[in-house]
């Protein structure tokens, strides 16, 4: 008896694999710094391994992240233009897989800001609770970093 996978031409197996991977977007580990008036957030698109993300953040910083009391978090964000002109763009928390949303890995420099809060319970037009961790884009102030646990 022969194995079906070994009897198919290699191109057929590769073509199927390419179709499966097409829906999965991979983001490289590239650290970017986002600022607000109060905080600084290091982030990279994609949900990355926390140890690898920390290593990349320390490389970006030129050494250990001394004074950075925040936790590494996996969240979702969405980038929008800043109509105020203060910034080029704003990165807002987003619901997973929503239009324009992308996964992010973040760490914030302020331990007091990076805390766990109950999710927002504001009921939207769809009748469902918002569910994001404050600050959320519809219920709280807009921010440049992804809110904790968003």
**pLDDT tens-place string over residues 30-56:** 999 987 777 788 999 999 999 999 999
Confidence category of residue 18, pLDDT binned at 50, 70, 90: very low
| Exposed/middle/buried for residue 59 (C-beta within 10 Å: 0-12, 13-18, 19+) | exposed
CA separation, residue 29 to residues 55, 93, 142 (Å): 10, 19, 25
Among 57-61, 88-92, 121-125, 129-133, the least confident range? 129-133
Burial of 118 (0-12, 13-18, 19+ CB in 10 A): exposed
pTM: 0.61
Residues linked to residue 80 through DSSP beta bridges, in sequence order = 90
In whole angstroms, give the CA distance from residue 39 to residue 148. Answer: 13
Listed residue (82, 74, 62, 57) closest to 143, CA to CA: 82
């Amino acid at each position: 008896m022969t194995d079906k996978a070994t009897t198919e031409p290699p191109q057929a197996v590769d073509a199927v694999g390419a179709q499966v991977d097409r829906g999965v977007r991979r983001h490289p580990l590239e650290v970017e710094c986002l600022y607000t008036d109060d905080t600084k957030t290091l982030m990279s698109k994609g949900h990355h391994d926390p140890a690898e993300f920390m290593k990349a953040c320390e490389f970006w910083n030129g050494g250990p992240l001394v004074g950075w009391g925040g936790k590494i978090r996996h969240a979702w964000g969405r980038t929008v233009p800043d109509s105020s002109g203060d910034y080029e763009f704003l990165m807002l928390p987003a619901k997973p897989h929503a239009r324009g949303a992308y996964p992010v890995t973040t760490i914030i420099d302020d331990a007091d800001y990076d805390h766990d809060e109950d999710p927002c319970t504001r009921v939207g037009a769809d009748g469902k609770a918002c569910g994001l961790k404050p600050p959320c884009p519809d219920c709280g102030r807009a921010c440049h970093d992804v809110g904790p646990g968003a």
